[in-house]
Structure 1
Amino acid sequence: MGDPRRAIPRTDAVLAEPRIAKAAETLGRDLVKSLVAAAQQRARAGEIEPGEVVAEVVARLPATVSSLRPVLNATGVLVHTNLGRAPLSAAALDAIVAAGGATDVEFSLETGERAKRGRGTLAALAEAVPRAAAVHVVNNNAAALLLCALTLAPGKEIVVSRGELVEIGDGFRIPDLLASTGARLREVGTTNRTSARDYAAAIGPDTGFVLKIHPSNYRVTGFTSEAGVAELTGLGVPVVADVGSGLLAPHPLLPDEPDVTTALADGASLVTASGDKLLGGPQAGLLFGDAELVQRLRRHPAARALRVDKLTLAALEATLRGPETPVRAALSAEVGDLQKRAETLAASLRSAGVDAEAVDSTAVVGGGGAPGVELPSAAVAVPARYAEALRSGEPAVVGRIVRDRCLLDLRTVPPADDATLREAVRRCG
């Protein structure tokens, strides 16, 4: 008998197969050719039959060139940092596609001359927070704080409560971030209690500004007290308030979460916030406040290094002007509707032979927003062994393990994705 490896199809023959040829046009010939080589090697090793090479390549063709995979978030964490924080709205996604080519981001089609960068986005942001005399956008909230320190406190002191010197994730800490600008931190108060008198006693000729930071991902309870923004505005220096989570105005479900509008009303000179948390937009650092101070921030040399690209500007404007974002929809979902969806999904899965049941669940905001707030929810519970298979499936589905069951929390799954979720679970059975 002849060597079966001689039956392995040639590279050019595989690349000419219509489905593979079309994929090479969108994914790039080099990437597709590497998949062909890998399939041929599997055939040489006897792992697949020579006649299965084409099918192997087709099965392994990625949806895009990017290594990032779409994930169905069934964790019950609305703003999941490890899953990219806020999922964008359809309007924001469409805006990104439209902005992918040449755009008038810094060009006036009316005059044919250079125009203010991101003017439409800035106008939308200003309209969303009328109390702000001026607004600016940088690439994340840490960058917004960095720009404040570089502009207002070079070689000076930033007065901040010891109880607000937080770590913001992945080992990065606010004190280190601010100190990297050359500013000096003047810590006041204690971990659990800081009063307006503590701040006032620290103010001097070397003070650049007072910083008020919303704690992220935790709460200090018990014998505690803190000074609000309104108590700090008469100290003769600017007050910078970091509200963090991107809530632009008060929300009835999050009464204790600080928001931009209230901080400005209380007298903050500048307010910083994130674009990709409760606002539900792309990663961005949002700056609001005094017109003269915002202009100083905008003209600082570092502002160029911290500016956002046209895709972020497009997505942010669409988020501000467009329909309800997925984050807002998840936040306001009625628990009764979630329970009905869970019961329907569980019944459908049981009929397909899956050990599934509808259970009560608890969701959270996540992303440093509303620490300690629990949102009643509903989930479909399946065996814990499904978790790994769901993560490696297509699409990938991420739930959470609770008492040897994998919970698929529906507060973070849009209703339109219920069928997709059901099929993903059924395939794991």
Structure 2
Amino acid sequence: MDRELTKERLRSLPAIDRLVAAAGCKNDLQQFPYPLLVEKIRQVVDEARQKIQQGEVVDISVPALLTDVLLKFEAAAKPSLRTVINATGVVLHTNLGRAPLSIRAKSMVEKVLTGYCNLEYNIASGERGSRYSHIVKRLCTITGAEDALVVNNNAAAVLLVLSGLAKGKEVIVSRGELVEIGGAFRVPDVLRQSGAQLIEVGTTNKTHLYDYEQAISLNTGAILKVHTSNYKIVGFTAQPDSKELSLLARRHNLPLIEDLGSGTLVPLSFGGDREPSVQESLAVGFDIVTFSGDKLMGGSQGGIIAGKAEYIGRLKKHPLLRAIRIDKLSLAALEGTLMDYQLGNPVCDVPVLNMLHRTQEELYDRAKRLADKIRPLADTGWNISINQLVSQAGGGALPTAALPSYGVAVTPGRYSAAALETQLRVRENPIIVRVQEEKVIFDVRCMTDSDLDETAKILLEISKSMDQ
């Protein structure tokens, strides 16, 4: 486009006032607040101006520009945070929100979502209450702890425990347990923020009881054990028995703390990998145990602190607690999940546990259902097969456990697997898959019945659009 033509096109851009007046006659634009309407119109005109200056051909008629304005409003009305279908086979997929909630937990959230609730009100006495009272008794009953507390995540729980019990003092940690969790958050960094001083003992692969004992001084504030839930050190290794560590802490009158990380309330063992339960840790002698609410426990995001009443009592008075306290919706979901453990069958009722325990027969049947639903795609040149797969627990749990699974592998005819993956991902209801060896893989371990139906429907729609 030559310079004179560009100038002419720029001069032909409708004035903002003219577009605003025209928008006032369109029912689908009248509903929006006037200042926001003007803002969107200005954005559309500015974008059209930039395209003209770059030599692009742009329809600058009033109807076309107002259509662009309406598209901007439609885009603004779409939430950024939305549900997806998890066909990756990773049960606790951190990028996909970790644990999906149980039916009971969702119901609890819905009940407190739209109205008032007794978050910090004691109905029996008619006086102010504590938000933590709603879950303390249930947690203590399930875990055997004397007392409990919950904050907004496990990193915050560790920060509060160290700040409340060992600020200004030394905390002894095995060098082999100085873990890094997702997002580059490291135990040494959390410990440093708490005001405690890290004392590393042992080596990467071996730490003995005498390493801890030799490090104890008059300024020691606590012994911290960090469960390496997101990796394993194997081979020539050694760590002291937890019971021995507990006896050592008792002799020196020190609190023994365990950051259990992913934390499970039921025994879990898959593929030779095993996760210690919260109950086991407390029974063996740990004074304080911290763990996540939205990992193996299968609830909402939260950092749970369970243990001895004397230490929990000190933490409840700590000023940091208010800054990291849990909100009412997470608290409602957490209580609902704990009720699943108390009143139901958690392996059936808590989705995470249900997915982890799905049998090979069940997984094969689910894969076959999906394959049968999309079998018509084979007539258009797509290749469809039921494959044996390996799923993962994810979420920094059971790192070496390979979970045998089944899924459906799809090769989309003359199109690439990458192109199909993109089509699935950018849908209104995105489907997140794996791509291996030019095949799109749908691992059915984490897929619900409705997910299977929706996936089949979307694949059939994509096939039609690709072939047009």
Verify same fold: TM over 0.5: yes
The CA distance in 1 between the partners of 2:259 and 2:358, in whole Å, is 28
Amino acid across the alignment from 1:414: T
Report how far residue 93 of structure 1 moved: 2.5
Kept after mapping to 2: 8 A contact 1:125/1:317: no
Cα 1:32/1:139, change in 2 over 3 Å: farther
Of the three residues 392, 395, 398, the one matched with 1:367 is: 395
Of the three residues 18, 23, 29, the one matched with 1:11 is: 23
Instruction: Tell me what 1:242 maps to.
Output: 259
Of the three residues 296, 299, 304, the one matched with 1:281 is: 299
Structure 1 residues 19-418: aligned runs within 5 Å: 45-46=58-59, 50=63, 57=70, 61=74, 66-100=79-113, 101-129=115-143, 131-235=144-248, 236=252, 237-253=254-270, 256-322=274-340, 324-352=349-377, 353=380, 354-383=382-411, 384-385=417-418, 386-418=420-452
The CA distance in 2 between the partners of 1:155 and 1:144, in whole Å, is 18
Kept after mapping to 1: 8 A contact 2:270/2:403: no
Cα 1:10/1:37, change in 2 over 3 Å: farther
- Structure 2 spans left out of the alignment, 5+ residues: 1-11, 49-56, 412-416, 464-468
Cα 1:38/1:395, change in 2 over 3 Å: farther
TM normalised by structure 2 equals 0.81
Secondary structure at the aligned position of 2:310 is classed as: helix
Secondary structure at the aligned position of 1:230 is classed as: helix
Kept after mapping to 1: 8 A contact 2:139/2:145: no
Report how far residue 37 of structure 1 moved: 8.0
Secondary structure at the aligned position of 1:78 is classed as: strand
Kept after mapping to 1: 8 A contact 2:270/2:401: no
Cα 1:46/1:312, change in 2 over 3 Å: same
Kept after mapping to 1: 8 A contact 2:23/2:66: no
Cα 1:424/1:116, change in 2 over 3 Å: same
**Count of aligned pairs:** 419
Cα 1:344/1:47, change in 2 over 3 Å: farther
The CA distance in 1 between the partners of 2:408 and 2:65, in whole Å, is 37
The CA distance in 1 between the partners of 2:287 and 2:132, in whole Å, is 23
Cα 1:405/1:212, change in 2 over 3 Å: same
Question: Which deviates the most, 91-100 or 395-404?
Answer: 91-100
Indicate the structure with greater helix content: 2
Cα 1:142/1:31, change in 2 over 3 Å: farther
Kept after mapping to 2: 8 A contact 1:76/1:363: yes
State the Cα deviation string for residues 377-414 of structure 1 (Å, max 9, x = none). Answer: 11111232311111101201111111121211110112
| Fraction of identical pairs, as percent | 38
Of the three residues 411, 433, 454, the one matched with 1:420 is: 454
State the Cα deviation string for residues 342-366 of structure 1 (Å, max 9, x = none). Answer: 1221232131444332211111111
Amino acid across the alignment from 1:202: A
TM normalised by structure 1 equals 0.88
Secondary structure at the aligned position of 1:197 is classed as: helix
The CA distance in 1 between the partners of 2:77 and 2:359, in whole Å, is 35
Amino acid across the alignment from 2:168: G
The CA distance in 1 between the partners of 2:263 and 2:226, in whole Å, is 13
Kept after mapping to 2: 8 A contact 1:118/1:310: no
Amino acid across the alignment from 1:81: T
Amino acid across the alignment from 1:327: V
Runs of 4+ in 1 over 4 A off after TM superposition: 5-9, 28-42, 47-60, 62-65
Question: Whose Rg is larger?
Answer: 2
Kept after mapping to 1: 8 A contact 2:40/2:72: no
Secondary structure at the aligned position of 2:282 is classed as: helix
RMSD value, Cα? 3.1
Cα 1:64/1:278, change in 2 over 3 Å: farther
The CA distance in 2 between the partners of 1:296 and 1:188, in whole Å, is 27
Report how far residue 114 of structure 1 moved: 0.8
Kept after mapping to 2: 8 A contact 1:133/1:288: yes
Question: Which deviates the most, 55-64 or 336-345?
Answer: 55-64
Amino acid across the alignment from 1:428: I
Amino acid across the alignment from 1:365: A
The CA distance in 2 between the partners of 1:371 and 1:277, in whole Å, is 13
Kept after mapping to 1: 8 A contact 2:267/2:277: yes
Kept after mapping to 1: 8 A contact 2:269/2:275: no
Kept after mapping to 1: 8 A contact 2:268/2:276: no
The CA distance in 2 between the partners of 1:217 and 1:363, in whole Å, is 15
Kept after mapping to 1: 8 A contact 2:132/2:150: no
Secondary structure at the aligned position of 1:226 is classed as: coil
Cα 1:266/1:337, change in 2 over 3 Å: same
State the Cα deviation string for residues 6-46 of structure 1 (Å, max 9, x = none). Answer: 999932344x34xx888x6xxx898788778878988x933
The CA distance in 2 between the partners of 1:428 and 1:391, in whole Å, is 12
